[in-house]
Amino acid sequence: MFEEGILDIEGIVEFKPDIACVEDIQRVHFCCPDEQSVVTQSHLISAGGAMKIGKEVLEKNIERGFALVRPPGHHAMRVVHGARGFCNVNIEAMMIEYLRQTYGVGRVAIVDTDCHHGDGTQDIYWHDPDTLFISMHQDGRTLYPGSGFPSEYGGPTAAGTTINLPLPPQTCEEGFLYVLENAILPILEEFKPELIVNSAGQDNHYSDPITDMQFCAHGYAELTSRLKPHIAVLEGGYSIEGALPYVNLGIILAMAGLDYSGIREPDYDPRRLRQAPEITRLIRGIVDEALQIWKKGPGIRENNRRKGKLFQRDRQVFYDTDQIVESQQEQIRACPDCSGLLTIDSQTDGGRRIFAVHIPRKACKQCREAGYKTYDSTDLRGYNRMFLQDRSSDRYFSRK
């Protein structure tokens, strides 16, 4: 792209990445055994690149920005024992929490258009009603990580702020744009985010070797033009020559408000990329279900907060890259005044065990005090490390 002279176009500028620090990781993650064991310099540069773009947008030096960075991040969950789905830390979440801490950003919408479900980003914001996470991806019954179904709609105090749109294999441009116009944009209009972030995975492309979708570069540009994200962050995409140069160029032109009508892959054949009527029918049903979940969310949240009971979630997380199996027990008490105090007991099949306490950004006094009390009073015996993540005061502690 740069060899073709894109930086010669007026209004398009390039920035060098910042380098993220340990505190930027601690705002988002519990890293086991520690941050230095989980990340490399490349991860700090990738996250720092996203943070730099966010900074330039928030300081109004640019209207919109695209972080063309790797390694990606949307499979990295709140607890990190290693790498999964090529992700060690969640670069979008690190950027968002940096922007919240530095510029006071409140409501954020993340629209993940990677072909794989953004299960890590979903996990991090599962209990955050101020962060809307929408993932449009290939059906998890047919692709890693095997999640992202409509029934996954958020935690007890954030129900409805996670929206999953699992699309059938062979979905074409028609289907992606239908979902955007009939589900994503109406929900964004009602949520009214201060910031829209696009996790811009490019592996929905028809030439991608590990997925089964039929999207094209022009379709990506059209989606970006209609979505109008303030920030896009590169995620997956593995057709290095057949897709990425064309898709990246289309996204950049669309974000800059320039003509992208001439974007075409050399082997693009619209006759081969026609969507079957059965796929169209399925997609319409998926959109209808998503809208119903969105409408029911506020009532579910209010009912759970009024009851104030303790909710528990038990699950296993597989780290496909590092071949780790994590068993996790998560507890949160629904609070009438904030999103609630969260605790996590996590153990790997290798024997490493941690206990973590998360105090939310808008924690009430009672939950904040309970968080410190839980951290101080929990017996360290049986655990390799304990964590306290206090987002309300941007303070982070650990003991071992």
Helix or strand holding residue 110 (H, E) = strand 108-112
Give, in order, the Cα–Cα distances in Å from 315 to each of 123, 178, 200, 318.
12, 33, 28, 10
To the query of whether residue 358 is one of the catalytic residues in this protein, the response is: no
Q: Which of 74, 224, 255 is nearest to 147 (CA)?
A: 74
For every one of its 400 residues, what pLDDT tens digit does the chain have, with 9 covering 90 and above?
667 788 889 889 999 999 999 999 999 999 999 999 999 999 999 999 999 999 999 999 999 999 999 999 999 999 999 999 999 999 999 999 999 999 999 999 999 999 999 999 999 999 999 999 999 999 999 999 999 999 999 999 999 999 999 999 999 999 999 999 999 999 999 999 999 999 999 999 999 999 999 999 999 999 999 999 999 999 999 998 899 999 999 999 999 999 999 999 999 999 899 999 999 999 999 999 999 999 999 999 999 998 889 999 999 999 999 999 999 999 999 999 999 999 999 999 999 999 999 999 999 999 999 999 999 999 999 999 999 999 999 999 999 9
pLDDT of residue 5: 84
Neighbours of 313 (CB within 10 A): 13
pLDDT of residue 28: 99
Please state the pTM of the whole predicted model: 0.97
Task: Output b/e per residue, 149-185; b: 16+ Cβ within 10 A.
Answer: eeebbbbbbbbbbbbbbbbbebbbbbbbebbbebbbe
For residue 152 the two structure tokens come to 């996954």
Report all structural domains of the chain as residue ranges with CATH numbers, in order of start.
6-303 (3.40.800.20), 308-399 (no CATH)
pLDDT of residue 3: 72
Phi, psi of 344 (to 5 degrees): -135, 125
Where do we find the tokens 């990246």?
248
Q: Do residues 33 and 384 touch, judged by C-beta distance below 8 A?
A: yes
Q: Do residues 252 and 66 touch, judged by C-beta distance below 8 A?
A: yes
Q: Which of 29, 43, 74, 75 does the annotation list as catalytic?
A: 75
pLDDT of residue 308: 84
Question: In sequence order, what DSSP letters do the residues of 201-262 get, joined into one string?
Answer: --TTBTT-TT---BB-HHHHHHHHHHH--SEEEE-----TTTTHHHHHHHHHHHHTT---TT
Phi, psi of 79 (to 5 degrees): -90, 130
Q: Give Dmax over CA atoms of the chain in angstroms.
A: 65
